[in-house]
Structure 1
Amino acid sequence: WYGKKRAVTYVAPNWVFRPTELTLDEAKSLAKEYPTANLRLVAYGRMWYFMVPPVLLLLILAIPLYAADIDRSLWSVAPAVYAASLGAATAIAVYGAFRATANDATNDFDLSFLRETIWLGGVQAQVPGLTRVRVGLEVAEFAGYRVFREPHVIATVQGIEEESRIQAWSEEVGALKRLLAYLATGHGHGRIVWSWHARDRDFWKTTGSDTSGYYVRPPVRTRVREMSVKDIDLVTRNAVGLVALEWLRAHPDDTTTVLDVLNRIGASLPAPS
């Protein structure tokens, strides 16, 4: 613990962040390699760091009981087993404490919620009609070091990839915290935005300069009465459906792909005009 605290003397530079995007595989590699590459800077705990030492200590305690009741020949190897088990338990505990301890640099070099975001992206990649699923981050570089913040999932809607964008955030594996869906209107730089937060039952829609907005009903047919943070597939399908339906209303003659998307996600289609 003390060694990790004293491992670096850190003066935070003026980090200048820029947006970047990674594929899911690239994000997985980053989550795996970054803590090792920045061993002295990152607090990184793994379950086995803390589970293995107690198991080894139980082994040490179990040997005398086993040898006394079942096999006395084990007494001859008991000292070696004691030494090996105790040494391994100590080494793992010290290493785990070193890896899990934070210092002055940890806040900047932390990869908070990246693994949760990767998991979320993997789930959303299975949603029909969602394409170009990636992990968005803000990255800054200084003197050969890189720091990241704000991981989130970025995707588009099939058939209208250039006009659409869906972003989602997670802070817990298996849960969706927030989702935003965008559709460019083609009028200047205007766009329509749908937002869903963990506390919401429905999506909140804002259009252009309309800053007040209003709730809209989800288009996907379902028996679920209230969407929750665990309904990742359903919330994402509804986001895709809202974007696709809005596009359909504005482009009634350009519907082949969008109609297919709506059918695949189980959305209620508008009545033919």
Structure 2
Amino acid sequence: MPAKIIKEKSLSSLKALFVALLIGTQVLGIIVTQMLKSENYGFILFLLYIILVPMTILAAGFFLGRAAKNRLEYRRPDWEFEPIQFETSDLRKKGKEYLRKYRRLTPRSELWMWFLPVVLALSKVGFLYYSIVSDENIAEFLLIAASVLHPALLASSAYVGYHAMENEASGDFRLPLIREAIWLAEKQDSLPGFYNVRVVLDKAEHDGYEIYRSPRVFARVRYVEDDGYVESWSGELRVVERVHALLHSDKEDSVMWYWRSMDRQFRESEGHDSYGHYVKEPPFLRSKLGVKDVRTVLIAAEILLLREWIKREDGHEDAEELLCRLQKDI
């Protein structure tokens, strides 16, 4: 029987260590609280406590979480990918399910995860400072609150170390930028002429595990129907990086128009001509389009596809009406 590609090791020892550290940090907080109540401390000792102790706890929690994330062995198989289509609503659900299912294999970093330990550490310093300048009753409450923050610091930093860090399987199991692809699909679906807009990902399965690659948006154009389609790729921060429009892709007289962010102009290639040439009559006024010109780039691809299709069909009244509308909107 072949070995599994993922061998997850037990976390029992690390969990026991985590519980012991939680108890230890809480005991430390209680001891220091009693010491501060008695005012039997020097300024240097107090300064070390408010700086060195939180940093030590944060570091211990982070490395403990990171150690737990790395408690596995990964044997990389030969992944074989096949394209699969998703509607945007289904892909949102799939993304959440995937991250839950493979949380031990994938890194997930969000701003609040990094911000929370910092807030807790600063709160602890603030509680200790105000315990010195406040009256006795309030000071006692603030000291108790500061001691309770010790295990909270440990837990929050361990959470970051476990969820945000990578392990040897993360390179394959990292989920691609589906959020940006969903945004681009919804943007494209809102434009006139497009229909059957889907997000396409390359999916591979092995030994019960699945991974995804290369999210892009696939859309048909009205009246062109199955004769052509527009495919687009999103980048980070809601931009478009690449757009392809293909007509009769399965025939000898196929035509492809493509726009790339590095070039910023549409090229046209026919048949086996892979390099092509710049479009002689671009359907937009500006000489070049940038990554933020998402709407213009997508409509331009649609116009190029419609224009050539109408020409080959020797006219089409409804398609020509749509083409005129798009040319006015661009």
State whether TM-score is above 0.5: yes
Q: Secondary structure at the match of 1:134?
A: strand
Judged with a 3 Å threshold, the aligned counterparts in structure 2 of structure 1 residues 230 and 152 are, in CA distance, closer, same or farther, namely same
The reply on whether 1:5 has 2:64 as its aligned counterpart is: no
2:26 corresponds in structure 1 to none
TM-score (norm: length of structure 1): 0.88
**Root-mean-square deviation (Å):** 2.3
1:121 aligns with 2:182: no
Cα distance in 1 for partners of 2:145, 2:76 equals: 47
Unaligned runs of 5+ residues in structure 1 are 269-273
Question: Quick check: which one's helix share is greater?
Answer: 2
Report the CA distance shift for 1:71/1:229 in structure 2 as closer, same or farther (over 3 A). Answer: farther
Deviation at 1:71, TM superposition (A): 6.4
Give the number of aligned pairs: 264
Shift of 1:50: 0.1
Q: Structure 1 residues 128 and 74, CA, compared in 2 at 3 Å: closer, same or farther?
A: farther
- Name the larger-Rg structure: 2
What is the TM-score normalised by the length of structure 2?
A: 0.74
Q: Does 1:192 align with 2:252?
A: no
Counterpart residue identity of residue 218, structure 1: P
* Matching of residue 214 in structure 1 with residue 267 in structure 2: no
Paired with 2:317 and 2:195, the residues of 1 have a C-alpha distance of: 17
Matched, 1:242 2:242: no
Q: Which whole-Å CA distance do the structure 1 matches of 2:235 and 2:249 have between them?
A: 31
Q: 1:253 to 1:265 in 2, by over 3 A?
A: closer
3-state SS in 2 of match to 1:79: helix
Instruction: Give the secondary-structure state (helix, strand or coil) at the position aligned to 1:166.
Output: strand
Taking only the aligned residue pairs, the percentage that are identical comes to 30
By how many angstroms is 1:184 displaced?
A: 1.1
Residues 83 and 105 of structure 1: is their aligned pair in 2 closer, same or farther, counting only changes over 3 Å?
same
SS in 2 for 1:9: strand
1:1-273 alignment, distance < 5 Å: 1-6=66-71, 8-69=72-133, 73-184=137-248, 188=251, 190-216=253-279, 217-220=281-284, 222=285, 224-256=286-318, 258-267=319-328
Q: Deviations over 1:103-148 (max 9, x none)?
A: 1111111112222222222222222211111110111112221111
- Larger displacement relative to structure 2 (75-84 or 127-136): 75-84
Instruction: State whether residues 117 and 156 of structure 2, in contact with CA within 8 Å, keep that contact through their aligned partners in structure 1.
Output: yes
In 1, are the aligned partners of 2:131 and 2:143 still within 8 Å (CA)?
no
1:242, 1:16 → 2: CA distance? Answer: 34
The one-letter amino acid paired with 1:234 is T
